Structure 1
Amino acid sequence: MAENNTPDIVYTKVDEAPELASASLLPIIRSFAAAAGVSIGTKDISLAGRILATFPEALTAEQRQSDDLAWLGDWVKTPEANVIKLPNISASVPQLVAAIKELQGQGYALPDYPYEASTDEEKAIQAKYDGIKGSAVNPVLREGNSDRRAAAAVKKFAQNNPHRMGEWTAASKTRVASMSGGDFFSNEVSATLDKAATAKIVLETASGETVLKEGVSYPAGTVVDATYMSAAKLDAFLEDEIKKTKDEGTLFSLHMKATMMKVSDPIIFGHAVKAWLKPVFEKFGDELKALGVNPNSGLGDLLERVKGNAEIVAAIDEVRAARPPMYMVNSDKGITNLHVPSDVIIDASMPALIRAGGKGWGPDGNESDTNCVIPDNSYAPVYDAAIEFFKANGKLNPATAGTVQNIGLMAQKAEEYGSHPTTFELPEAGTVKMILDDGTVLHSHDVAAGDIWRSASARKAPIEDWVNLAIDRQKATGYRSIFWLDASRAHDAQLIDYVKPILEAKGVADKFEIMAPREATIASLETITKGENTIAITGNVLRDYLTDLFPILELATSAKMLSIVKLMNGGGLFETGAGGSAPKHVQQLVEENHLRWDSLGEFCALGESFKFLADQKGNAKARVLGDAVDTATQGILDHDRSPSRKVGEPDNRDSHYWFARYWAEALAAQSDDAEMAAHFAPIAKALAEGEAAIVGELAAVQGKPADLGGYFHGDADKTAGVMRPSATLNGILG
């Protein structure tokens, strides 16, 4: 699929703070890369870009946008692929709707998102938009498994400059609450296919059979799971936990992944909203429906819709007064845990709470112990074990802690989040069956109306690649290496049947341990507390959770992780870290013209990408660039040039100036390529001599509002003006 003008490296255009940072950093990268004959292209995987690419028929010829995600999906399957992938929005419905409204306001004649599609046209529009929600990007790009770890320089800096940790005591009331039955974990069944097969998923009821999905094809060796969550047991669990929270005097909090798990988790979130306001829904159910209330959209949307009905508002106030205090997203603005499904994302929210000593912010603006409600019990034991470990042992010491690296199974949509095309909220009671093309009933569950049924899978080739990647990483490091697999869980048992024979055939079985997530969490915490290191070898969702949990404890952030995806067909994908706090960063920039986003993840990915390109295309100058990036990154850390959180102090743009300067100085000083050294010597000199002017120009713009021309779809010229305010720096870069 490669085009003649395909760039050497593709740098993704994304959303929010990472994209704002790109407006400042990418011109620097392009300027330096040109000296090595390296071309840097961009492809748009932002939420706005994906929306526009999905509805070309609604746009004018000038407004139409190519489907860059589809292009990248093809390119990552080639040996030439070299992608630097920044974090993009994994949209919840409220985010999707907000982006649509912004684009409509800019003159794009997009259709509205139909919450309840009734006509064929509405259903078609809804289906298109639903394809953009959640983890629409990562499964397309991740044609390889994940090697994620703290870069050596970053880990060293964290140990030398330990961040603040909240105090843990044995008296803490903070705990994790999960369902003891009726959840996805307890209902899971799994099988490995001995031959290629196509399956259909049907719901058999008293009135007949409904085909939920057909034409789901799997190659031989695929591990195929099925499970469901009982709506009735979920409701009973939530009601019970609300009462227990009140009795315990803690904050109530719900921790989900309503972005990535875009079908199942918004539904579960909606159950929590209904449980919280149960008396209101019982009394005013018809009125709420008439007002267009959908609890899956959150408490914030509900309150907006009912604000004109005094009786309902009074009833809500009465119920909320009787409930326990809620964990808050923003106490000052009254934004609760249940306001927006995408506000509290488990892989960011739980590590932050654990790092803070088990404390969450309450509606009174004070910290308090918290009941962390995680309905499904698949991975909740990780957080429960961590909390109990710190209660018993006290907080982790970042100055002496070792590290937990991760090898994650994610290639070819392995264990895809929520498995969107094969997840269903069931309209009536019956039996869900997964039937193969030869008539075999692979999986079957008796279900009730409202239950959430889903299937996920992992293919043979990615599983084998994952195990071999783990073997390579263990050999390279010698670290304690643990497969986080629970032999008593259906899916994990199938994976263990793959893992053990490979380890034995390669004679390395004695180098690895296999533990259930709870035991693996404890073992890993014990290991890093002693200052030693370990490798967590996990499935996809657990990869996502752990590569936030341990970095946030070790480094204070997961945005500074080195994330290398060795694509299975020979290419490379270099991910730059998490973007969970990016919305707050944008808000601060708009209000104060200060961007506190730290581009350290981008620096780490950039160096690896250049070095990969050097090997990939025999470009020795690219290796010189990559090695110098590492030196510049070390300089950023050693001289504390990372962005400050406060307006009036150095921000993201300052860090980019220093990165460019250290990079140029490293290139001028190196002896591997005299031509490169000669090229960058005057640039390094100009950047050093221009320090006062550049720093002054960057500081001068802070403290007043910034106009980006949009949140989801900003104006490129306005954004460049905001993010490149130093004429001196711009002039040096040419």
Structure 2
Amino acid sequence: MADSRTPDIVYTIVDEAPELASASLLPIIRSFASAAGVTIGTKDISLAGRILAAFPERLRDDQRVPDDLAELGELVKTPRANVIKLPNISASVPQLNAAIRELQAQGYDVPDYPDSPSTDAEKDARARYDAIKGSAVNPVLREGNSDRRAATAVKKFAQANPHRMGDWSADSKTRVASMSGGDFFSNETSVTLKDAATAKIVLTTADGTEHVLKDKVAYPAGTVVDATYMSADALDAFLADEIQRTKDEGVLFSLHLKATMMKVSDPILFGHAVRAYLAPVFEAHGDRLTALGVNPNSGLGDLMSRVKDEPEIRAAIDACLKERPPLYMVDSDRGITNLHVPSDVIIDASMPALIRGGGKGWGPDGKEHDAVCVIPDNSYAPVYDAAIEFFKANGKLDPATAGTVQNLGLMAQKAEEYGSHPTTFEIPQDGTVRMVLEDGTVLHSHDVKAGDIWRSASARKAPIEDWVNLAIERQKATGYRSIFWLDENRAHDAELIAYVKPLLQAAGVEDRFEIMAPREATIASLETITRGENTIAITGNVLRDYLTDLFPILELATSAKMLSIVKLMQGGGLFETGAGGSAPKHVQQLQSENHLRWDSLGEFCALGESLRFLADQSGNAKARVLGDGVDAATQGVLDNDRSPGRKAGEPDNRDSHYWFARYWAEALAAQTDDADLAAHFAPVATALADGEATILEELHAGRGQAVDQGGYYHPDAAKTASIMRPSATLNAIIG
């Protein structure tokens, strides 16, 4: 249960591997923090927690939970906010349904997710669930712009201990495939509002009927407002062509989207790809598939489960799979393809992994092959295309000598929220979509057809100015090459450039910054880090998301070790701990082998920053000593190779937490800035050192055996604690 008061630091309850790790790490943090008078509270932003909070009237009194996300949303708008945010699930429909089924099995009376709501009750349930889908958390909490970079200790360790990179060949057939027109990029229009305004989004059909898609969308003065659409016809033609072309080239077919966060647009694009790949099956058995409730948006896995008792359809699918190009596999051993589940292949993680691996993906035969990477929209596909072509020409990056790409991302106040916002629609009928102001001014107008995807996004003036000023500060502090990733030929970017240039000129620093389109900026950044030099990528929200996986995975082998600071615009701080990445696989390994390979390095980095921020915020000097101790402990974990291993039998997440606690206690006992803390932690450090053999033996008891934490999305707290805190000796020392 979440804390009701506002503590000094709020630590978020999330999902999957990060939450399992918290069961081990959070008691250590609370124990150490209490010695400095620092309180650590929690707020539940997990998928299960958000589902339960959405239906209080259906639950017993003892089952109800507060709406912690809403409470955190208010907290981050205050100067006192100090939040450590772990990666949470951005739910696709299959994930949402799985969580609902689990909660129902545990006795929670939450409704089913209605695919096609008809009654008022179903429409109400659908609306509540739609508010939970996709990137529902981040837009609420990110009331500031993003400063993401590899912590110094992490970068030095990666250079001293370079990870393995796949070899690139100049004749690699791997390539990026994107639409030549009809996509979001080519159809985009953008305008900056001179005055505050309220708009409505209206679809006018051929018979002149007006359908209000969204009313009363309010914008303050200076907001950049975009609108665009994806042509369904153009998308289908593109997919059909690429499937055939991929087969001719003899490589894997792979689709790379963001169906978790972009909850309206990308799941639909995913469904188009499933339908295109199985086109002969849908043509021959479409009526029966509809009767069985098949929705291509849910993926091949859901389709296969619905036709398990349909031998004719199963045979048609098998025949189609033999005729189509082989699919990029998520899990070759289990037959899980790229098209099975929309949330299995997420572009910002999947593309960097493929690039790091030398352009190779796993095929159905369990071997690595070149692949065609299908990214329909051209807005950011050039980043990956440029990276692939760069490595074909120059060979793999050397992590031992590579510089670093830091990122400053525009994201405050839902800037550029792409697809998780309520202004994205699948068009039901042919017509014209207009965004119209109250005075009748038409901001945007697009002629669309049924099935097209129309969307609007915006960025407010204050966050844009804050973003530019943050870039100026960071460039001044580092002296690094600094590039605004903006394309003057793209409508939205042109409006941002109109903000950026005058602000740089007013500060007298325009000569310190470059402005480049994403393709050119990618090449420039790769050239820079290949020379061992550093650069700052100053980007919008989407590129922030993509680049803070791409470059860390190339530099560090993972994005989970990034230092991610959100300087909230009202003075507070949000400290993010890295990406979730392969967290589901981590959970599966824990369940089957009692081994958790999740690395909490991101949590360590965020904790140190949070404690120092608290010291500045509250004047608690002891918090700063704690924070500096965290950095020393993090360095100790890295220098002594105490991070988790990947295989059962190796040290895992729980071992790393023991060593983190020990190094932290030793650092605090040795420091001379605070005698009370030194005296407090001296016996703790001694006990942790003296108990090493016993603690490690207790931590490893039961390893290699299956464990049950009582649920995947909503695990049992006591069972999870028993699994993640198996050392009575360590628990007694921590207290």
Q: Shorter-chain TM-score: which interval?
A: over 0.9
Alignment partners' CA distance in 2, 1:305 and 1:372: 28
Q: Output the amino acid matched with 1:139.
A: P
**Residues 145-189 of structure 1: per-residue CA shift (max 9 Å, x gap):** 000000000000000000000000101000000001000000000
Alignment partners' CA distance in 1, 2:4 and 2:151: 35
**Residues 101-137 of structure 1: per-residue CA shift (max 9 Å, x gap):** 0000000011100011122221111111010000000
Alignment partners' CA distance in 2, 1:419 and 1:152: 33
CA contact (8 A) 1:603 1:629 kept: yes
Q: Output the amino acid matched with 2:186.
A: S
CA contact (8 A) 2:135 2:420 kept: no
1:305 correspondence with 2:306: yes
For 2:405, the equivalent position in structure 1 comes to: 404
1:578 correspondence with 2:579: yes
CA contact (8 A) 2:432 2:448 kept: yes
For 2:155, the equivalent position in structure 1 comes to: 155
Q: Output the amino acid matched with 1:246.
A: K
- The secondary structure found in structure 1 opposite 2:186 is coil
For 2:15, the equivalent position in structure 1 comes to: 15
Q: Output the amino acid matched with 1:177.
A: A
Pairing 1:495-534 to 2, within 5 Å after superposition: 495-534=496-535
Pairing 1:258-337 to 2, within 5 Å after superposition: 258-337=259-338
Shift of the alpha carbon at 1:584? 0.2
Alignment partners' CA distance in 1, 2:645 and 2:281: 45
1:723 correspondence with 2:724: yes
For 1:464, the equivalent position in structure 2 comes to: 465
Pairing 1:280-429 to 2, within 5 Å after superposition: 280-429=281-430
Alignment partners' CA distance in 2, 1:106 and 1:229: 41
Alignment partners' CA distance in 2, 1:112 and 1:611: 45
**Residues 186-205 of structure 1: per-residue CA shift (max 9 Å, x gap):** 00000000000000000001
Alignment partners' CA distance in 1, 2:368 and 2:457: 38
Shift of the alpha carbon at 1:419? 4.6
Q: Output the amino acid matched with 2:409.
A: G
For 1:488, the equivalent position in structure 2 comes to: 489
Q: Output the amino acid matched with 1:48.
A: A
Shift of the alpha carbon at 1:4? 9.2
CA contact (8 A) 2:84 2:577 kept: yes
Alignment partners' CA distance in 2, 1:9 and 1:701: 34
Alignment partners' CA distance in 2, 1:15 and 1:4: 21
**Residues 14-48 of structure 1: per-residue CA shift (max 9 Å, x gap):** 00000000000000000000000000000000000
CA contact (8 A) 1:481 1:511 kept: yes
- The secondary structure found in structure 1 opposite 2:422 is helix
TM-score by length of structure 1 reads 0.99
1:102 correspondence with 2:70: no
Alignment partners' CA distance in 1, 2:418 and 2:153: 32
CA contact (8 A) 1:687 1:732 kept: yes
Shift of the alpha carbon at 1:5? 3.2
Alignment partners' CA distance in 2, 1:636 and 1:251: 39
- The secondary structure found in structure 2 opposite 1:707 is coil
Alignment partners' CA distance in 1, 2:707 and 2:308: 32
TM-score by length of structure 2 reads 0.99
Pairing 1:167-316 to 2, within 5 Å after superposition: 167-207=167-207, 208-316=209-317
**Residues 392-423 of structure 1: per-residue CA shift (max 9 Å, x gap):** 00000000000000000000000002153000
CA contact (8 A) 1:273 1:296 kept: yes
Shift of the alpha carbon at 1:73? 0.1
For 2:92, the equivalent position in structure 1 comes to: 92
Alignment partners' CA distance in 2, 1:600 and 1:355: 21
Number of aligned pairs?
Answer: 732
Percent sequence identity over aligned pairs: 81
Alignment partners' CA distance in 1, 2:560 and 2:426: 34
Q: Output the amino acid matched with 1:592.
A: E
- Superposed CA RMSD in Å reads 0.7
For 1:604, the equivalent position in structure 2 comes to: 605
Structure 2 unaligned spans of 5+: none
Shift of the alpha carbon at 1:701? 2.1
Alignment partners' CA distance in 1, 2:368 and 2:119: 48
Alignment partners' CA distance in 2, 1:30 and 1:18: 17
Structure 1 unaligned spans of 5+: none
Alignment partners' CA distance in 2, 1:144 and 1:252: 38
CA contact (8 A) 1:402 1:529 kept: yes
CA contact (8 A) 2:597 2:646 kept: yes
Alignment partners' CA distance in 2, 1:56 and 1:394: 56
Shift of the alpha carbon at 1:337? 0.2
CA contact (8 A) 2:227 2:444 kept: yes
CA contact (8 A) 1:419 1:454 kept: no
Q: Output the amino acid matched with 1:626.
A: G
Q: Output the amino acid matched with 1:370.
A: A
Q: Output the amino acid matched with 2:234.
A: K
Alignment partners' CA distance in 2, 1:278 and 1:4: 53
**Residues 202-236 of structure 1: per-residue CA shift (max 9 Å, x gap):** 00012311000001000000000000000000000
Q: Output the amino acid matched with 1:456.
A: A
Alignment partners' CA distance in 1, 2:260 and 2:334: 23
Alignment partners' CA distance in 2, 1:249 and 1:381: 23
For 2:41, the equivalent position in structure 1 comes to: 41
**Residues 68-107 of structure 1: per-residue CA shift (max 9 Å, x gap):** 0000000000000000000000000000000000000000
For 1:51, the equivalent position in structure 2 comes to: 51
Q: Pick which of 247-256 and 302-311 moved more.
A: 302-311
Q: Output the amino acid matched with 1:66.
A: P
CA contact (8 A) 1:701 1:725 kept: no
For 1:67, the equivalent position in structure 2 comes to: 67
Shift of the alpha carbon at 1:282? 1.1
- The secondary structure found in structure 2 opposite 1:271 is helix
Pairing 1:552-571 to 2, within 5 Å after superposition: 552-571=553-572
CA contact (8 A) 1:419 1:455 kept: no
CA contact (8 A) 2:134 2:420 kept: no
Change in CA separation of 1:130 and 1:665 when aligned onto 2, cut-off 3 Å: same
